Amino acid sequence: MVNYFFSYLVMAGLYGIMALALNMQWGYTGLMNFGIGAFYMLGAYSSAILTSSPSADYIGGFGLPVLIGIAGAAVIAGLIAYLLAFPALKLRGGPFAIALLAIQETLFLLVKNESWLTNGVTGIRGIPRPFIDFFSPQNYVYFYAVVSIGVMVLVYFAIERAVNSPWGRVLRGIREDETLTVMSGKDCTAFMRQSFVFSSIIMGVAGALYVHYTGFVSPQVFSPLMSTFLVWFMVTVGGTGNNRGVILGAFLVWAVWIGSDFISDMVPASMATQIGFIRMLFVGLILTITILTRPQGLLTKKLSVIKLFMEKEEY
């Protein structure tokens, strides 16, 4: 039971990192990125290929140290985000969301089918788990919960620092009113690109941390549902534009998602497969009810930039 709780903490921490990164894009910059799972997946696979032991079935298995794997994940996620930013940031709003969703689907298809690179649906095994020798396999989860929460706290402080700087103020300005920010002499697209790349790097690191926790990676984990939309729900429920809020949202939504396992244990086995989907219903209901009752999420955001200049209705 305690073990179960700590494995919850590990995943909630990782989702917390994802939610913080998404909050940077959506909550602060106003980028509706429906493809965040792609960067999580890129990070995960980069680190997996760099650090796993060599294999005959696919390229890679370079057996490099874990830290290099994580750095590689950050570099590759950041680089691809940088390259994608140029075409994608010509779009705004809904079309941007759909373009990113399409990019994610394409990358997902590639990872699932190009088995020379990713070993296809079989997935990559034998990814090193750092410091596993010091712990028994049962106790490893305690150590990793500390790692995951620790990194989440680091990311929290880094993002808080970034968004409260003059740079972050420009981002919030873009979110509130892009035209006004352009008029103040800021290159909005450049700022958006920086925010996009910065948060994609964080997502890549989250992906790398995930594969070093499980020691195994396969495409199923990165379906748009699990890797993108769940994070979106966390951010919306927790409080868009509030970093403490999105962490709360991550822990809450993941608790509901995981907690539904207990319900499927209670019903007869014949119904178990269908009841497994009740978690989807729960998170959907949580999202819609939050939006109807508290549109800004559980924790509301701080005073925005443009409000200082003009009264503008929030949402």
Partner 1 sequence: MTDLLISGIIYGSIITIGAIGLTLMTDILGFFNFAYGDFFTLGAFGTLAFLAIFPDLGTFTGLSFGWTMIFAVILSALATVAVMLLFDFLFFRRLRNMGVTSLFMSLASLGVSFILRAIIYIVWGPKVQYYSREIQLSRDLGLGISMKVDELFILICVLFLVAMVFYFLKYTKIGKSLRAVSDNKMLAQASGMRPSRVIMWTWIICGLLAGVGGTLYGIQVQLNPSMGWNFMITLFVAVIMGGIGSFWGAMIAGMTIGIAGEMVTGLLQNLATAMQLQANISVYKPAIAFIFVIVILLLKPQGLFGKPKFNLKQ
For position 94 contacting partner 1 by CB under 8 A, the verdict is yes
Pick 105 or 160: Cβ nearer partner 1:
105
Pick 108 or 143: Cβ nearer partner 1:
108
Among positions 11, 21, 24, 103, the unique one binding partner 1 when judged by CB under 8 A: 103
* Three-state SS at 34: coil
Interaction residues for partner 1, span 22-61 (CB under 8 A) = 30, 32
For position 292 contacting partner 1 by CB under 8 A, the verdict is yes
The angle at the Cα of 110, spanning 104 to 111, to the nearest 5 degrees, equals 90
Rounded least distance, CB 272 to partner 1, Å? 11
Please state, in angstroms and rounded to a whole number, the distance separating the CA atoms of residues 144 and 131.
Answer: 10
Please state, in angstroms and rounded to a whole number, the distance separating the CA atoms of residues 234 and 249.
Answer: 4
Alpha-helix residue ranges (DSSP H) falling in the chain: 2-23, 36-51, 66-88, 93-113, 115-118, 140-163, 166-176, 178-183, 188-214, 224, 230-238, 243-266, 269-275, 278-293, 306-309
Interaction residues for partner 1, span 225-264 (CB under 8 A) = 229, 232-233, 236
Q: What are 119's two structure tokens?
A: 């070993």
For position 310 contacting partner 1 by CB under 8 A, the verdict is no
Please give the size of the binding site for partner 1, defined by CB under 8 A: 41
Q: What are 224's two structure tokens?
A: 């748009």
Which of the stretches 5-13, 101-109, 139-147, 208-216 binds partner 1 when contact is defined by CB under 8 A? Answer: 101-109
Rounded least distance, CB 289 to partner 1, Å? 9
Beta bridge mates, 217: 124
Pick 33 or 47: Cβ nearer partner 1:
33
Among positions 278, 294, 302, 312, the unique one binding partner 1 when judged by CB under 8 A: 278
CA count, 13 A, side-chain hemisphere, 295:
4
Please state, in angstroms and rounded to a whole number, the distance separating the CA atoms of residues 155 and 19.
Answer: 11
Which of the stretches 71-79, 90-98, 145-153, 187-195 binds partner 1 when contact is defined by CB under 8 A? Answer: 90-98
Which parts of this chain interact with partner 1 (CB under 8 A)? 30, 32, 87, 90-91, 93-95, 97-99, 101-103, 105-106, 109, 112-113, 229, 232-233, 236, 273-275, 277-281, 283-285, 287-288, 291-292, 295, 313, 315
